[in-house]
Structure 1
Amino acid sequence: MDFLYKQFEMSRHMFLREVNQTNQGVLDVQPNGFSNNIHWQVGHVLTVTEQFLFGFPNDDSNLPQNYKDLFGNGSSPAAWPDNVPSVDELTEQLQKQLERMKEIPKEKFNEQLPEPFLGAETFGELAALAVVHESNHAGRVNAMKKAIG
């Protein structure tokens, strides 16, 4: 399972590099053809990974409960209130989340899920799905940056 920890690390660093190399002025721009912005992408990756690996929102000890409404599937920055966490705050939480991910015991990855979720039957398969999800969104951030110019 060491490869899965390495995949977490690689995908997270790739995602953070993509975000950190973004001009601050475009983080909240919603490019034509996209239903959200880069700021939302950052919060979404954080929130969905937390859902997959740490049971959020039922276990909300690491993220505020309102993140699901701000960044969960089907949410939109168009509906955001005034007090949305900054990209800097979210990227700091992503870095802390990576450290928590590395602390997941190896034996946990063999545990069966109570029921299959998006084709995953074990926690390890769900963790691998989290890596794929994050990599997908790194590509979306890259595409958004190109669309913005």
Structure 2
Amino acid sequence: MINERFECEILRASRTRLLQLLETSNYEILFKIPEGFNNNIIWQVGHCITSQQRHMYMRSGLPMYISDEFMESFKIGSFPSCWKITPDVNEVKHLLIHTVNQLESDLESGIFVNYEPFALPIGFQVKNHIEALQAANYHEAEHSGRIFTYLRLLL
């Protein structure tokens, strides 16, 4: 049986590490796109938040804790070059932890009842909210690797 609390602890640890990076990095570095890439650090972090919200809440038929504008800025296929406004770093920092707190509360409340399955690009089906949480942890690990690569290239 999957331990939801442990999965949330992994998500929180990952998000806390990203928050520390955002708080200690130069503002310009967060928005700079490394040569050969099409996104920046702030996009990578916002994308992690957006994907987790879409996969957990939207696919469960529940409202997300991010705005439509936030989602549009960071969904798959978006790029900083398409942003209508520059994302607010403080909002991204707030959502990193707030969405984990809310997820823990919502899991305890049992609001995840329905789920619309979908296929991940890596070749397997996500069939329920628990699998979505596990997939989010995997996804965030991938993007965290990119973020730390960007940081090394930009410093």
Against the structure 1 CA distance between its residues 9 and 141, is the aligned structure 2 distance closer, same or farther, given a 3 Å change threshold?
same
Secondary structure at the counterpart of residue 116 of structure 2: strand
**Alignment-derived partner of residue 114 in structure 1:** 116
Offset at residue 101 of structure 1 (A)? 1.5
Which residue, out of 111, 127, 136, partners 2:133? 127
CA–CA separation in structure 2 for the residues paired with 1:122 and 1:132: 15
CA–CA separation in structure 2 for the residues paired with 1:112 and 1:146: 42
Offset at residue 138 of structure 1 (A)? 1.5
Offset at residue 111 of structure 1 (A)? 6.2
Match of 2:144, as an amino acid?
A
Q: Which runs of 5+ in 1 are unaligned?
A: none
Asked whether the 8 Å contact 2:31–2:41 carries over to 1, the reply is: yes
The count of aligned residue pairs is 147
**TM-score, length of structure 1 as denominator length:** 0.84
**Alignment-derived partner of residue 39 in structure 1:** 42
**TM-score, length of structure 2 as denominator length:** 0.81
**Alignment-derived partner of residue 99 in structure 2:** 97
Q: CA RMSD in A?
A: 2.5
**Alignment-derived partner of residue 143 in structure 1:** 149
Which residue, out of 33, 51, 68, partners 2:54? 51
Asked whether the 8 Å contact 1:109–1:124 carries over to 2, the reply is: no
Secondary structure at the counterpart of residue 45 of structure 1: helix
Against the structure 1 CA distance between its residues 45 and 38, is the aligned structure 2 distance closer, same or farther, given a 3 Å change threshold?
same
Which residue, out of 8, 11, 14, partners 1:11? 14
Secondary structure at the counterpart of residue 25 of structure 2: coil
CA–CA separation in structure 2 for the residues paired with 1:62 and 1:106: 17
Q: Report percent identity of matched pairs.
A: 24
